[in-house]
Amino acid sequence: MNHNDRLTRLRYALDIKDSDMIEIFRLGGMQVTREDILAMLKKIDEENYEQELTDEGLERFLNGMIISQRGVKKDAPEPVFELRQGNANNIMLKKLKIALKLTSDDMIDVLDDVGVTVTKSEMSAFFRKEGHKNYKTYGDNYTRNFLKGLIGWYR
């Protein structure tokens, strides 16, 4: 699963319009046009998109989602970009939790709605800092199922 897949599935799950996506990217500090959005969402073949979304681009979108839903935090430091392919699902999960004001119980319920059982301790392991002894990578399959579960909550 690449960043474009994550963006496409997230957009569908939350029913985000093109104009809203442009605004979310802008709030995250990235200027995009409607054509850029469409190119990020348009597949060339099974694995490639017309315009590849970078690590920083996805993280800016997720930061923009937080700002659009929660507002600008006063005296907030400049964001540190920590997202990369290996931890993208964990970072996305953390930022969605913040943006959508979800509790861990809500997230467990979202997954339960699509038939995936996760315990509270497993869920907390996904939110740990990389390198922590109890850190657990949030796999692509969990991400797909979580976004599928969000469809039931937001569409």
Nearest to 10 by CA among 51, 56, 48, 64: 64
Contacts of 53 (CB under 8 A, 6+ apart): 2, 3, 4, 7, 40, 61
Beta strands in the chain (DSSP E): none
Task: Give CA 86 to chain center in angstroms.
Answer: 14
Q: What is the pTM of this model?
A: 0.92
Alpha carbon distance 154, 9 (integer Å) = 13
pLDDT per residue over 100-143, tens digit each?
999 999 999 999 999 999 999 999 999 999 889 999 999 999 99
Reading the block at residue 1, the tokens are: 């699963």
What is residue 126's three-state secondary structure?
helix
Mean residue pLDDT of the chain comes to 93
Please determine, for residue 147, whether its predicted confidence score (pLDDT) is greater than 90.
Answer: yes
pLDDT per residue over 65-89, tens digit each?
999 999 888 877 778 889 888 899 9
